[in-house]
Structure 1
Amino acid sequence: MAAPDYDAQVRDAFPELDRIEDDGLRDQVVEAWCLGLERGGWRDVADIPYAWNIHEVTNVEHVRGVTKIAIESAEIQREFHGADPDVDVIVAACLLHDVGKCYEYVDYVDDETLDEPDRERYASEEIPHSISGYALAHEVGVPLTVQRAIPHFLGEVPKRTLEAELVKSANSASSNAITQSAMGITLKEWVAKYSQTQE
């Protein structure tokens, strides 16, 4: 079987990459995804689920939703409040905020979606995806402004930037919509009910 063309998959899956003006940053986002997919052993970026127990929505759909919400929010902040959020940072961080699921969710999908995950060094649920996603971004050299906007749970970074807050709030908005439509519960209820299962 031929190796997957991760670069083409990622560029096709995330048309929002075109919103990043900096060519180098755009390529780094793609590179981080390609590394995660390869190490996780994924055959297709579209096979990664939104959550370990919600497979009706793909991670790609969620990441795209988060990115679109954050871009709209940034435009509103600029138009109504005179803020000046960095759109390149926002888009890159949104697109990378769940790249760590390439590592975390390999045990929760059918074997035919995977091809030799690197479980010795990468593919496991030991490190939460927001932290492993930060590590992937750091590894490929994305700017610190993007790196520090990737961890999206409270307490993971000591001080949030405007861009980081946009990523976090857009993630919550998307996640609440997904858990409500898939399970009829809020994200907070999902976390309370299932976070113990993951420990």
Structure 2
Amino acid sequence: MADVDFDRQVREAFSELEEIEDDDLRDRVVEAWTLGLERGGWLDIEDVPYAWNIQEVTNVEHVRGVTRIALETAREQREFHGADPDIDTIVAACLLHDVGKCYEYPDHVDDVVLEEPDPRYVSEEIPHSISGYALAHEVGCPLPVQRAIPHFLGEVPTRTLEAELVKSANSASSNAITQATMGITLQEWVEEYSQTA
């Protein structure tokens, strides 16, 4: 594979990494992205699309949007409701919630943005929320972060405040993207493309 500095790419793509106070956790988030990008055969983190059929928005843009929405909501939960969400867990999980798209989307992009995806990992058979959880587990992210990554209903039996926040921020960002790019809600997108999504 070409000599690509994924560590640098990830750190430059996600300024929100600086919101994570724990240096070790921040490095584990970067490591998970690096593994996903390497195994997926990507040359540039900015080439991973938001969705297989919405490629004018990057996954980086979406992940950053989810993280920003979740951070603002967590601040409101703390200031207005007196809740105590864990910011490191929220930011790490938001940044990792779609890292699995590195494995799921290589078949949906031009070959020029890829170099030899690893067939042991790359597949549309495993939803990106599950492969993202697996990457977080593999690099040793804490269990609360791992539990907040699967964002589809039924994937995790017990959901934490942080997991619910990641899921709702993901929905908010996704609805904005589908409306802006296709003029439809996320639910309409799911209904129209669920057979191939």
* TM-score, length-scaled by structure 1: 0.98
* 1:30 equivalent in structure 2: 30
Could you tell me which amino acid in structure 2 is paired with residue 152 of structure 1? Answer: H
CA distance, structure 2, for counterparts of residue 66 and residue 89 of structure 1: 14
Within 5 Å, give how 1:40-55 maps onto structure 2. Answer: 40-55=40-55
Q: Which runs of 5+ in 2 are unaligned?
A: none
Superposition pairs of residues 137-148 of structure 1, within 5 angstroms? 137-148=136-147
Offset, 1:197: 2.0
Aligned runs of 1:1-199 on 2, under 5 Å?
2-119=2-119, 121-198=120-197
Cα distance in 2 between the residues matched to 1:186 and 1:83: 30
- Figure out how many residues of one structure are paired with residues of the other and give that number: 197
- The alignment's C-alpha RMSD in Å is 0.8
With normalisation by structure 2, the TM-score equals 0.99
Quote the Cα distance in structure 2 between the aligned partners of 1:5 and 1:61.
20
Cα separation, 2, equivalents of 1:38 and 1:16? 22
Give the 3-state SS of the residue equivalent to 1:148 in structure 2.
helix
Q: Give the residue type in structure 1 aligned to 2:164.
A: E
Moved over 4 A (4+): none
Q: Distance in 2 between matches of 1:81 and 1:155?
A: 27
Residues 26-54 of structure 1: per-residue CA shift (max 9 Å, x gap):
00000000000000000000000000000
Counterparts of 1:60 and 1:109 in 2: how far apart (Å)?
A: 15
Take 2:147 and 2:26, find their aligned partners in 1: how far apart are those partners? 17
Structure 1: where are the runs of 5+ without partners?
Answer: none
What CA distance in whole angstroms lies between the structure 2 residues aligned with 1:133 and 1:194? 22
Distance 1:38 1:197 in 2: 25
Deviation at 1:124, TM superposition (A): 1.2
Q: Secondary structure at the match of 2:158?
A: coil
3-state DSSP of counterpart to 1:85: coil
